[in-house]
Amino acid sequence: MLLAEIPIVDDRIAAAARGDRAAAAAICRELLPRVRNLVRYLVRGDQLADDVAQEALIAVLRGLGSYRGEGKFESWVDKVVARTTFAALRRLRGGKLESLDPVAVETAGDAADDREAGGDAMLRRKLAALLDRVTPEQREALVLHFSAGMTVPEISELTGAPFETVRSRLRLGKQALREALGGDNARVD
């Protein structure tokens, strides 16, 4: 299908897909907070998150021609960002990912959060700390489901995990968050 045939709703998206640098820059500025937050929740730590977020934004821009206008643009972006993040994590699993110094990562996170607007930064920091209490697989499932709004089948397809495994990761992740928040009465949904 040619780009001209794609029913893109937003003129900026179509312009950026055709190579308009001003439109691409505007889309990047608009998407950067969303992309960065999603990546930060998936990878634990700002040092790595900034690199992966940049890589993800480039993937979004390169893939604009494949966006068909079916569904929300943000959902399409979230899927591209998640795929790019998982690809980056697979590349880094051998050494750099495990060797990140948690103190350095936490310090970098504090500095970045201090630059953000007050209450939102504190809430994101607390959420990231809670997500650190679950396994990486549970974290991945929780973030993709609750932050990116993906369904269990979509998460299953994206991660390559069986459907029931994803459901189990969500259930166990929510249970762990409930316990971290203070018991069975805490709501996680």
Instruction: Classify residue 169 by burial, with Cβ atoms within 10 Å: 0-12, 13-18, 19+.
Output: buried
Let me know if the fold of 3-119 is the same as that of 133-189: no
Is it true that domain 3-119 has CATH number 3.40.50.1370? no
What fold does the segment set 133-189 form as a domain?
Arc Repressor Mutant, subunit A (1.10.10)
What is the pTM assigned to this prediction? 0.68
Please give the single-letter amino acid code of residue 179. Answer: E
**pLDDT digit string (tens) for the chain, length 189 residues:** 333 344 445 788 889 988 899 999 999 999 999 999 899 888 876 678 889 999 999 999 999 988 888 888 988 999 999 999 988 888 877 544 333 333 333 333 343 444 444 566 677 778 778 888 889 899 889 989 988 888 999 999 988 899 999 999 999 999 998 888 876 555 666
Domain ranges within the chain, ordered by starting residue: 3-119, 133-189
Q: Burial, 95: exposed, middle or buried (Cβ in 10 Å; 0-12, 13-18, 19+)?
A: exposed
> Residue for token digits 């990231």?
128
Judge whether 65 and 28 are in contact, CB under 8 Å: no
Q: How many alpha carbons lie under 13 Å from residue 129 in its C-beta half-sphere?
A: 11
What is the dihedral sign for C-alpha 5, 54, 96, 161?
negative
Q: What is the pLDDT of residues 81-119, one digit of tens each?
A: 999 998 888 887 754 433 333 333 333 334 344 444 456
